[in-house]
């Protein structure tokens, strides 16, 4: 059985703790894995359009309208000095008696909050929250190469923001019991269900399911699902991809979330699931799905954080699910181990 510990409280931004989580193992750094994480360059808007500080706001606004963009980087003598957005133009209309005469410098945001193109999207979101801004200018070799807005992040990786908004689980200050709700287990699998009340689900409950994803799993999943992408099945083909080797199907990795939910008390029924795929999983790697109940909705409906962690404890999938939990039909249950 996997031993699961309480994670360290995470605090991002000026507002204090934005979320807490449960983690397996210590968080190491794997350069190979991290190099494949979702980066700013993967989701930023490009090319970046620029304007000068003394350009009239009417001209800058016309550029935004004509090119259907929401912001401009402000450059003075080759130096990035600010950013101006459509929101700035609207605000000026309400604040100035003569908005047409105003230069961009009167409404731009400065100093500029920047980020590198190789930063992770999660790091960029943390920078936005800390600075209280909705856009970052992406800079490479001192040149603006793109813009990253909250809209860009939500369009491509919505879970990064969702995770900042979910309620936090209750403190770990009560008795728990471990319980098995499945038809069978295998020797290579391990799980732990930690609940406040033995027969029902409550906020703060946590379930973990862990298994290695084998070559047989990958090939069986390809056959069952029809996803025979050569990235997962052909070594020579996969060597030429950005990953440099074969990797596990992302949906096969996320399927462990369903396996974990099956081990909660009662009959768990999916209503919705949001997922962000953060890093690849190698064939043969042991991964662990960790699901924590973070909110109770209408009695039998719950919101959970749904994460899959790699063998080093780094997240490979992050998600948020809404489930319906019915009472399980009458059946024999096998009590496993009670823990305090």
Beta-carbon contacts of residue 94 (< 8 Å; ≥ 6 apart): none
Structure-token pair, residue 132: 């209280």
83-106 per-position pLDDT tens digit: 888 888 888 877 766 767 789 888
Is the predicted pLDDT of residue 35 greater than 60, yes or no? no
167-185 per-position pLDDT tens digit: 555 445 444 444 556 777 8
pTM of structure = 0.60
What CATH number is attached to the domain comprising 303?
3.10.129.10
Largest CA distance in the chain: 79
Residue 86 lies in a domain: yes
Residues 145 and 249 both lie in one domain: no
As beta bridge partners, residue 84 has 72
Is the predicted pLDDT of residue 17 greater than 60, yes or no? no
Average pLDDT score over the chain: 79
User: Beta strand 190-194 with 22-23: parallel, antiparallel or unpaired?
Assistant: unpaired
DSSP 99: G
> What is the per-residue pLDDT for 96?
67
Residues 149 and 226 both lie in one domain: no
Residue 284 lies in a domain: yes
Q: Domain of residue 190: give its range.
A: 5-37+167-339
**Final residue belonging to a domain, choices 124, 156, 188:** 156
> What is the per-residue pLDDT for 231?
97
Structure-token pair, residue 50: 């620029």
Kindly list the distances between the CA atom of residue 301 and the CA atoms of 97, 194, 272, 294, in Å, as whole numbers in the listed order: 53, 18, 11, 11
Residues 82 and 56 both lie in one domain: yes
> What is the per-residue pLDDT for 20?
24
DSSP 156: H
> What is the per-residue pLDDT for 177?
44
> What is the per-residue pLDDT for 217?
97
- Mean pLDDT value of segment 308-315: 92
Residues 76 and 114 both lie in one domain: yes
Q: How far is residue 70's CA from residue 224's CA, in Å, rounded to a whole number?
A: 44
Q: How far is residue 320's CA from residue 323's CA, in Å, rounded to a whole number?
A: 10
Residues 68 and 147 both lie in one domain: yes
> What is the per-residue pLDDT for 128?
87
123-145 per-position pLDDT tens digit: 888 888 888 888 899 999 888 89
Is the predicted pLDDT of residue 5 greater than 50, yes or no? no
> What is the per-residue pLDDT for 134?
84
The DSSP-derived string for 189-239 is -EEEEEBSSSSS--TT-EEEEEEE--HHHHHHHHHHH----HHHH-HHHHH
Residue 162 lies in a domain: no
Residues 127 and 257 both lie in one domain: no
Is the predicted pLDDT of residue 157 greater than 60, yes or no? yes
> What is the per-residue pLDDT for 132?
85
**Final residue belonging to a domain, choices 106, 135, 156:** 156
Residues 61 and 18 both lie in one domain: no
Structural domains counted in the chain: 2
Whole-number percent of the chain with pLDDT over 90: 33
Residue 161 lies in a domain: no
Which 3 state secondary structure label does DSSP give 313?
coil
| Nearest Cα residue to 84 out of 128, 52, 130 | 52
Q: Look up tokens 């024999």; give the residue.
A: 332
Residue 220 lies in a domain: yes
Residues 188 and 140 both lie in one domain: no
Please name the residue ranges forming H helices in the chain: 31-34, 40-43, 57-67, 86-95, 121-131, 150-156, 158-165, 215-225, 230-233, 235-239, 250-261
Kindly list the distances between the CA atom of residue 163 and the CA atoms of 6, 149, 184, 312, 332, in Å, as whole numbers in the listed order: 18, 17, 33, 21, 37
Kindly list the distances between the CA atom of residue 98 and the CA atoms of 58, 95, 335, in Å, as whole numbers in the listed order: 11, 9, 75
Residues 76 and 195 both lie in one domain: no
The mean-pLDDT minimum among 96-110, 129-143, 230-244, 256-270 falls in 96-110
**Final residue belonging to a domain, choices 156, 177, 202:** 156
Structure-token pair, residue 3: 């031993």
What CATH number is attached to the domain comprising 83?
3.10.580.10
Beta-carbon contacts of residue 223 (< 8 Å; ≥ 6 apart): none
Whole-number percent of the chain with pLDDT over 70: 78
Residues 194 and 260 both lie in one domain: yes
Residues 29 and 45 both lie in one domain: no
Q: How far is residue 313's CA from residue 179's CA, in Å, rounded to a whole number?
A: 24
Residues 280 and 185 both lie in one domain: yes
> What is the per-residue pLDDT for 163?
61
Residue 328 lies in a domain: yes
Work out the pLDDT band at 8, boundaries 50, 70, 90.
very low
Question: Would you say 301 and 271 are in contact if contact means Cβ atoms under 8 Å apart?
Answer: yes
Residue 269 lies in a domain: yes
SS3 content of the chain, % helix, strand, coil (to 5): 25, 35, 40
Residue 174 lies in a domain: yes
175-225 per-position pLDDT tens digit: 444 455 677 788 899 988 888 777 788 888 899 999 999 999 999 999 999
41 vs 253, more confident: 253
- Mean pLDDT value of segment 272-283: 91
């Amino acid at each position: 059985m996997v031993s699961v510990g309480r994670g360290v409280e995470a605090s991002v931004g000026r507002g204090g703790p934005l979320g807490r989580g449960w983690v397996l193992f210590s968080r190491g750094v794997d350069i190979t894995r991290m190099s494949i994480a979702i980066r700013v360059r993967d989701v930023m808007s490009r090319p970046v359009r620029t304007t000068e500080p003394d350009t009239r706001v009417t001209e800058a606004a016309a550029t935004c309208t004509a090119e259907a963009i929401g912001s401009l980087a402000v450059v003075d003598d080759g130096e990035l000095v600010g950013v101006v957005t459509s929101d700035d133009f609207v605000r000026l209309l309400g604040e100035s008696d003569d908005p047409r005469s105003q230069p961009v410098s009167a409404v731009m945001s400065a100093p500029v909050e920047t980020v590198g193109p190789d930063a992770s999207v999660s790091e960029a979101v943390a920078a936005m929250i800390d600075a209280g801004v909705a856009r970052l200018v992406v800079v490479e070799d001192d040149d603006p190469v793109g813009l990253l807005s909250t809209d860009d992040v939500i369009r491509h990786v919505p879970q990064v923001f969702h995770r900042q908004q979910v309620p936090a689980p209750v403190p770990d200050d009560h008795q728990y019991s471990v319980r098995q709700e499945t038809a069978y287990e295998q020797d290579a699998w391990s799980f732990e269900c930690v609940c406040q009340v033995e027969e029902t689900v409550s906020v703060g409950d946590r379930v973990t399911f862990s298994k290695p994803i084998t070559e047989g799993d990958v090939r069986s999943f390809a056959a069952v699902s029809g996803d025979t992408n050569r990235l997962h099945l052909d070594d020579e083909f996969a060597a030429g991809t950005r990953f440099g080797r074969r990797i596990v199907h992302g949906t096969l990795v996320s399927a462990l979330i369903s396996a974990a939910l099956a081990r909660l008390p009662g009959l768990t029924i999916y209503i919705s699931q949001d997922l962000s795929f953060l890093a690849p999983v190698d064939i043969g790697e042991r991964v662990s799905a960790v699901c924590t109940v973070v909110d109770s909705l209408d009695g039998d409906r719950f919101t959970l954080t749904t994460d899959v962690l790699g063998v080093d404890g780094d997240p490979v999938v992050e998600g948020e699910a809404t489930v319906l939990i019915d009472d399980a039909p009458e059946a024999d249950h096998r009590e496993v181990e009670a823990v305090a």
